[in-house]
Amino acid sequence: MKALLFKYKNYSIFLLILILLIVLKTINPSFIKSISFLSFDMYQKVFPLKKSDSDVIIIDIDEKSLGKFGQFPWNRSIFAKIIENVDAAKPKAIGFDVFFSEKDKQSPDEIIKSYNILHKYVINYLVNIQSHDENFRQQLEKSKSVLAVLGSNVSSHGSYDRKAKAKFLSKGGDPNQFTYNYPYSIGSLEKLEKSTKGLGSISFLDQTDGIIRSLPLIVRFNKKIYPTMGLEMVRVGENQKNLYIELDEIGVKRISVRPHKILTDPNGIFWIRYKESQKQQYISASSVFEGKFDKSRFENKFVLIGASAQGLFDLVKTPLGVTIPGVEVHANVIENILGQSYLIRNPNIYVFELLFSIILVCITFLLSQKIKPKYSLSIFFISLIIIIMIGFSFFTFRSQLIDISYPIFMLLVTFLTGLYFRFIEENKIAVENLKKEAKLLKERELAGDVQKSLFPDISKYENFIYARNIPARDVSGDYFDVISVGKDEYYFTLADVSGKGVKAGMYMAKASSTFRTLSNLSYPLEKVVYLVNNEIVEAKFKGMFVTAVFGKINVKTGDVTFINAGHESIMVVDSDKNFEFIKSELPPIGIIKYFAESMVKSKTMNLNDKTFVVYTDGVTEGYLKNGQELGAEGVERIVKNLNEVTPKNIVDSIAAELNWGSDKLRDDITCLALNIKNTELISKKKKKEEEVKNKKN
């Protein structure tokens, strides 16, 4: 079991992370909720609700009104006058986002207390004056008005056992089991509330970031159900007495006030879709008091009275990223109910979001472990686009809130985890490859050193035979050899094995050792080639062969006998620098087996006043500094430019032209040249003296 876990530890860790993410989403603490809220807010910012007109008018307690009536709260007669003026325009309902929880300080009895008036004539006069509270109460009673109630966790002074004005009819369960509850409530004076047509909650649920995204459409105060301000305004405006609550086994399903039906979550939560604020929706309270307004503006409208003045601190943040007066939240609720434009957070969608996220992150993680990182990045972005498209599609076409923030968060976490595991795996493989390459490099260097030892030291022959090999890699597939077989006779060869690397070097070593052994037996050249070929064929180096020039020279007579087995053309240049190229007439060594020595044909020529040059295709196909190939014409050019044509000058000049300092040679460079102008052997002592002399110069 332990071995299995170790083998699949990446997947085990991924599974643990996935379980942790699922548990976090299931528990849904506040910081996880804040992640989900990012997408809910983004929907409204990208596609804000736009309306040119509204069924709601807001009478604004603004700076202008404070300048006219003085410090807030004002005396109740001001509100009475405002109600009287608005009610004359026949609005649907008038709602107050303001509390009147204490007696008006400017009422007669409050004045008597404040100034400690004792004269009975003054007292009798003041008592007979109608109080501002009474004036206000009478106007409330005449109008279709709604006062605000607020849930509280502490008892307030002067509170009474208030009751909601709306009657609730429920079907399918008890709404008390699912709605939010406050043990106490704060409202207005008892006589004012009893004179009004409705009582509406202005309670918001606590939000960690202070943004009002939703509110309870129904809420309990002291175990009694109240509607929110917006819902109560619609009920009063539509002249309805009842509110209908439909429930199922998981909670509240729908709340209705004829003719409107509103879907909520199981706790009666209503998700608000905000529109962009409209200045024309507001009218100053001072203008309404003075009657300076068009009455048609209020006709059949829902009228809310609230404060936007900075000093009254009734400002809230919305998902649109702006701050608005609290009264505008209730205006949006009313508009959402009337226009069915509210947002839906379906409780069943939680399961869909979680299952979809699990499937998507599993697919993304598995692919990240199987395919190349650049492709797995494409898979990640495709998954990201799918999530975003689903979320915005549901919002646009169904007004439904889909949490895309947490799935994206899950996707990002698991993808980065997979990418990290892949990086560790790739890094491990890279380290292993580096170790293998280092080992192979060491082996190639060793093979190269061994191969260099196979090349003969022909420095004493360089007056009449000279050759060089410059390998393109550590191990060369080219070879040359010179063997003295008599007083004035030498066997020589220059060969090129197909392919490169260690295998080519091994193949070349096999051919060279066979050639050297047979040459030392003083066999005729034809027999040497015949035996070398058949030995190579038997060696069974699959798909490999050797192109070679074999030769035998007598430096006394100048006669050279040679065989070109599939190799580059042999260059022969005379003293006047006329060139002749002798092509191959035999196939390469190691391709077919020779059944008789007669199958091997040789040629003989005399080298008096001539130079014999053999090279591999690494010479003719080698790159010059300008990027062009040298070619046979280039070899001719090099020879023509020589002041003195000697084997050493030819070979060194060709090598210098091709080995000009590039990082990597195209192919091995091997070249051999011979002539008999000077057949003197060079002693090692003389050679060393010349090298010292050249260094000094």
The dihedral through the CA atoms of 255, 261, 266, 270 has a sign that is: negative
- Name the 3-class secondary structure at 648: helix
Extract the tokens encoding 315: 């400002």
CA 140 – CA 145 distance, rounded (Å): 6
Q: List per-block mean pLDDT (blocks of 10 residues) for the chain, which spans 697 residues.
A: 55 87 86 88 90 90 89 87 93 93 70 55 53 88 94 79 92 91 90 93 84 93 93 94 93 93 93 91 92 90 90 84 92 94 88 88 83 79 91 92 91 85 77 76 61 77 91 78 89 85 73 85 89 84 84 93 93 92 91 89 92 92 87 91 91 89 80 92 70 59
CA 306 – CA 332 distance, rounded (Å): 14
The class of domain 457-696 in CATH terms is alpha beta
| Amino acid in the structure at residue 657 | E
Extract the tokens encoding 266: 């199981």
Locus of tokens 């500094």: 625
| pLDDT the model gives residue 224 | 92
Segment (H or E) for 628: none
CA 406 – CA 308 distance, rounded (Å): 36
Contact predicate 461/482, CB 8 Å: yes
Contact predicate 473/445, CB 8 Å: no
Specify the pTM.
Answer: 0.65
- Name the 3-class secondary structure at 428: helix
| pLDDT the model gives residue 455 | 78
How many CB atoms neighbour CB 627 within 10 A?
A: 6
| pLDDT the model gives residue 94 | 95
DSSP string, 79-124: HHHHHHHHHTT--SEEEESS---S--TTSHHHHHHHHT---HHHHH
Q: Where are the domains of the chain?
A: 1-49+341-454, 57-164+183-220+272-337, 457-696
Adjacency order of strands within the sheet including 478-484: 478-484, 489-497, 546-554, 559-565, 603-606
